[in-house]
Amino acid sequence: MKLSIFKTIFTALSMVVAVSLVRAQTTQLQPYKTGVGLLIDVGEGITLVGPHAKHFFAPNHAGEAGILFGSETTGIQLMYQYHQTIGEVQGLQWYLGLGGSVYFEKDVDKPTFGIVPAGGLDYKINKAPLDVFFDWRPKFLFWDGDTDFLAARFGFGLRFTF
């Protein structure tokens, strides 16, 4: 059942991105300063979902923050991102980011800390207060003298922009 919900969300987001990319080739970019929405962090390990915000403090520089929940785990993630436009497609940007995270698990005394790099695509839908994104965000995790690297981690979601 969880896989079915994931497939439905992924299909809907894919359709929004595809339609928006076709429209973006003939319309003007309407940049945004701040976006608030939902981040879904999936892949190797547990799936995390939660509210998230992104704010541009300069034209190519943004900060991202999220609170994520999943499988008796709560995580807080902060990230810096550098953005650049892609060709002539208005509203489409690539980005690279680096941030940190801390995870609190039920029945575990000490938190897990993480370093989270990211590389992805961000698309602001023209004439709509919406932004969609997809990225690769592997995690380097550190806890109680142990470490782990989760390479197959991906984030995607939708933000309302203003």
| Tens digits of residue pLDDT in 28-83 | 344 699 999 999 999 999 999 999 999 999 989 999 999 999 999 999 999 999 99
| Tens digits of residue pLDDT in 94-115 | 999 999 999 999 999 999 999 9
User: pTM for the whole thing?
Assistant: 0.78
Q: What share of the chain is helix, strand, coil (3-state, %, to 5)?
A: 15, 60, 25
**pLDDT higher for 58 or 9?**
58
What's the CA gap between 107 and 131, in Å, rounded? Answer: 37
- Are 35 and 160 in contact by the 8 Å Cβ rule? The answer is yes
- Are 97 and 128 in contact by the 8 Å Cβ rule? The answer is no
Residue 148 reports pLDDT greater than 70: yes
Architecture of domain 2-161: Beta Barrel (2.40)
Break the chain into its structural domains and give their ranges.
Answer: 2-161
Spatial neighbors of 39 by CB under 8 A, at least 6 apart, are 48, 49, 50, 51, 52, 66, 68, 155, 156, 157
Tokens representing residue 9 in the block: 């969300």
